[in-house]
Chain A
Amino acid sequence: MKIDPELKQDLRKYLKSRMDAEQQAQVTIVAPHKLSKEDVKSLQQKFPMLAKAEITQEIDTALIAGVVIRFGSRMIDLSLQSQLQKLEKTLYETV
């Protein structure tokens, strides 16, 4: 059976776009205030995987300071909030 060349073209295009999308990871950066371009750049230097990713910013003042980077179901938590929570838990367990 011969496949319609037009259909072939479409399929190739679709697969290419899918592959590009996969490489272009979706990353969310949560911070207590809006990050400047320099901030994002320094983060990108620190985490190479952020370089190519499509970055969305979110603002959450509950973090107090630091950032939380989310990609897929993974998360890098560098916020003061989680540090304080950890301290609270340690104190609670000690008492």
Chain B
Amino acid sequence: MKQFDQYIKDLEKELSSSSSVKAQPQEVGTVQEVKDGVVTLRGLHNVGYGELIEFDNGETAMIIDMVEDIVGAIVLGDYLGISAGQKARGTGRTLSVPVSDEVLGRTVDPIMRPLDNGANIKSKTYYPVEKLAPGIVQRKSVSVPLQTGIKAIDSLIPIGRGQRELIIGDRGTGKTTIAIDTILNQKGQDVICIYCAIGQKNSKVATTIELLRANGALDYTVIVNAAAADPVTLQYIAPYTATAIGEYFMDKGKDVLVIYDDLSKHAWAYRQVSLILRRPAGREAYPGDVFYLHSRLLERSARLNEENGGGSITSLPIIETLENDVSAYIPTNVISITDGQIFLETDLFNSGIRPAVNVGLSVSRVGSAAQTKAMKKVAGKLKLDLAQYRELSAFSQFESDLDAETKSFLNRGAKVTQILKQDQSKPYDLGSQIAIIWAATKGHLDDVPLDAIPAFEQKFIADLRTRGKKVLEDINKNKDVSEDVEKKLEQFVKDNLAE
């Protein structure tokens, strides 16, 4: 009713004011062609790029193409109600979305219309959907870790707040799982999470939302959804909207995690729009600015310095490959834009190594600066063990009898690989991660048979979380493994192995 009251008030004001009627000239144009989500119009001689126009039936569109005497616009919503000859008015605004703290826990579409039967999102604060990334002076280098709660990632491919880490792999290798587990692990970490689904199945998004709700992660999460059935134009602007929401929280000094699931489908959506607008097609029929499409998006992830509030946006873009082909066009583009990638492989997934992270090919270019001291201590040895294991395991297939040293390397590698496996939706806190990795790299598990390791791990961690609560708290608080802690951990390992 508020809106209606406002309307009456405006009307009364206009009538009571003695001055003459307001005569604001408007830009008008006529629809010439309607194509899949894209309309071309005649008229609108004085509109700018990115400006919003409004049709007679209330739908809005954004101008993204201007040729000599016609303009092209993408319809933000249902384009089926628009017919040739219809009038469109310029609004003089660029596309922006209302943002407030109330968006937390909500599911919205790329123009902030609710998708969860909740109330409309209303706010006085609007953030532009397309915005230039923060400049050099406003930034700071990555220094605080973002714990994913996944052992293999936090130890070997650490992610810092403000970093962009690509998750890449074939379909069904657990890309979304890694992203969702990371959201679950942010509980109580004062991190705002935004999950942006682009061109996904609605059923899959619904399952994800349920999973987040069941784990109590929805309180600090926003879901932006442009499903496969939605117009491609909405899929095209979805990640920019998600980033705009993130920027609102970043400007308030918060740490934000944005997940773009996935950017391959985003590139497809943009390809469709571009081809309909008859822009020249390049490699794989993508338009020439497909690199800029993603670079301008991911550049908006940043760690701001203290003068600018100290907030950050960490992004985890997801790219789906076909047949592990990372040298395709879009994957190589996004690999070069991001600060590292987590490479997931079908073969590893099928052989039971889950998360199926290929440790050799995955890198994190800036995250090690943010890794905690404790993790650095244990991860150094872990990396070495795994590297030796990889080298020898290929070589050892040809040799029948191996010397004792090689055998011990192979044994250690197998054990370490085993402890890096982790169940879905079971994030580990820093203390538990360090405890189990420490146990393996110190060689305490060398004599344990491989199939007994999961049981030991479960028992060991459960024991630490009850009896050894103080030890875990010590690691979590000091972020270091002191000699005293090492002695205590050793005792716990021995206790659990003896039984």
Residue ranges of A at the interface with B (Cβ–Cβ < 8 Å): 46-47, 70, 72-78, 85, 87, 89-91, 93-94
Find out whether the CB atom of A76 lies under 8 angstroms from the CB atom of B24. yes
Contact A75 B25 (CB under 8 A): yes
Residues of A within 8 A of B19 (CB): none
B4 touches A91 (CB 8 A): yes
Within 8 A of A (CB), among B44-58: 44-46, 56, 58
Answer whether A77 and B26 are a contact pair too, CB < 8 Å, given A87-B7, A94-B1: yes
Nearest-neighbor residue (CB-CB) of B42 within chain A: A73
Closest partner residue, chain B, to A83 (CB atom): B11
- Whether B378 sits at the interface, judged by CB under 8 Å, is no
The answer to whether A73 and B21 have CB atoms under 8 Å apart is no
Q: Which residue from B20, B21, B28, B58 sits with its C-beta under 8 Å from A75? A: B28
Whether A73 contacts B7 by the Cβ 8 Å rule is no
Given known contacts A87-B7, A89-B58, A74 and B26 CB-to-CB distance under 8 angstroms:
yes
21 examples of A-B residue contacts, CB within 8 angstroms: A46-B20, A46-B23, A70-B28, A73-B27, A73-B29, A73-B45, A73-B46, A74-B26, A75-B25, A75-B26, A75-B28, A75-B89, A76-B23, A76-B24, A76-B26, A85-B56, A89-B58, A90-B3, A90-B7, A91-B4, A94-B3
Known: A72-B45, A78-B23. 13 other contacts (CB 8 A): A46-B20, A70-B28, A73-B28, A73-B29, A73-B44, A74-B25, A74-B27, A74-B28, A75-B27, A75-B28, A76-B24, A76-B26, A93-B3
The 5 closest A-B pairs by CB, nearest first: A73-B43, A73-B45, A94-B4, A74-B25, A75-B28
Task: For A91, list chain B residues within 8 Å (CB).
Answer: 4
B-side interface mostly: loop
Number of B residues near A (Cβ < 8 Å) is 20
Instruction: Give Cα distance in the complex from A90 to B20, angstroms.
Output: 24
Most B Cβ at <10 Å: residue of A47, A76, A91: A76
Chain B's nearest CB lies how many Å from the CB of A94?
A: 4
What are the residues of chain A within 8 A of B43 when measuring CB–CB? 73
Shortest distance from the beta carbon of B424 to any chain A beta carbon, whole Å = 42
Contact B7 A76 (CB under 8 A): no
Give B46's nearest chain A residue, CB to CB: A73
With the chains together, A89 CA to B24 CA distance in Å? 20
C-alpha gap A85/B56 in the complex (Å): 9
User: B1-33 toward A: CB 8 Å interface, digit per residue (1/0)?
Assistant: 101100100000000000011011111110000
Number of A-B contacts (CB under 8 A): 40
Find chain A residues with CB under 8 A from B21 CB.
Answer: 78
B residues within 8 A CB of A89? 58
- Most chain B CB atoms below 10 A, which of A70, A72, A73, A78: A73
| Cβ contacts under 8 Å, B27 to chain A | 73-75
Give every chain A residue within 8 A of B4 (Cβ-Cβ).
Answer: 90-91, 94
- Closest Cβ of chain A to B310, distance in Å, is 39
Contact residues in A for B3 (Cβ distance below 8 Å): 90, 93-94
Chain A: minimal CB distance from B356 (Å): 48
A90 to B4, CA, bound (A): 6
Smallest Cβ-Cβ distance to A47: which chain B residue: B23
Q: How many angstroms from the CA of A89 to the CA of B58 in the assembled complex?
A: 8
Closest to A70 in B: B28
Complex Cα–Cα for A85 and B57 (A): 10
Write out, one digit per residue, whether chain B residues 67-101 have a CB within 8 A of any chain A CB (1) or not (0). Answer: 00000000000000000000001000000000000
Please name the residue on chain B nearest to A74 by beta carbon.
Answer: B25
Q: Closest CB of chain B to A70's CB: distance in Å? A: 8
Which chain B residue has the least Cβ–Cβ distance from A88?
A: B58
| Shortest distance between the CB of A89 and any CB in chain B (Å) | 6
With both chains docked as a complex, state the minimum distance between the C-beta of B201 and any C-beta of chain A, in angstroms: 31
From residue A14, how far is it (CB to closest CB) to chain B in Å?
23
Find chain A residues with CB under 8 A from B58 CB: 89
Report the Cα distance A73→B4, complex, angstroms.
31
> Nearest Cβ distance between residue A43 and chain B, in whole angstroms?
10
Instruction: Report how far A89 CA is from B54 CA in the complex, Å.
Output: 13
Which chain A residues lie closer than 8 Å to B23 at the CB level? Answer: 46-47, 76, 78
CB distance from A69 to the nearest CB of B (A): 8
Of chain B, the residue at the smallest CB distance from A85 is B56
Shortest CB–CB separation between residue A31 and chain B, in angstroms? 15
What residues of A have a CB within 8 angstroms of the CB of B56 in the complex?
85
Q: Looking across the interface, which residue of chain A has its beta carbon closest to that of B4?
A: A94
Residue among A75, A78, A85, A90 with max Cβ neighbours from chain B (10 Å): A75
With both beta carbons as reference points, the residue of chain A lying nearest to B87 in the complex is identified as A75
CB nearest neighbor in A for B3 = A94
Q: Which residues of A contact B45 (CB under 8 A)?
A: 72-73
Cβ–Cβ < 8 Å partners of A87 in chain B: 7
Contacts of A75 in B (CB 8 A): 25-28, 89
Contacts of B44 in A (CB 8 A): 73
Instruction: Find chain A residues with CB under 8 A from B28 CB.
Output: 70, 73-75
CB distance from B96 to the nearest CB of A (A): 18
Q: How far is the CA of A78 from the CA of B3 in the complex (A)?
A: 23
Within 8 A of A (CB), among B320-361: none
| Chain B residue at smallest Cβ distance from A72 | B45
Q: Which residues of B contact A77 (CB under 8 A)?
A: 26
Question: Which residues does chain A contribute within 8 Å of B26, judged by CB atoms?
Answer: 74-77
Docked Cα-Cα span, A3 to B448, in Å, equals 103
Point out which of B21, B25, B45 has the most chain A C-beta atoms below 10 A from its C-beta: B25
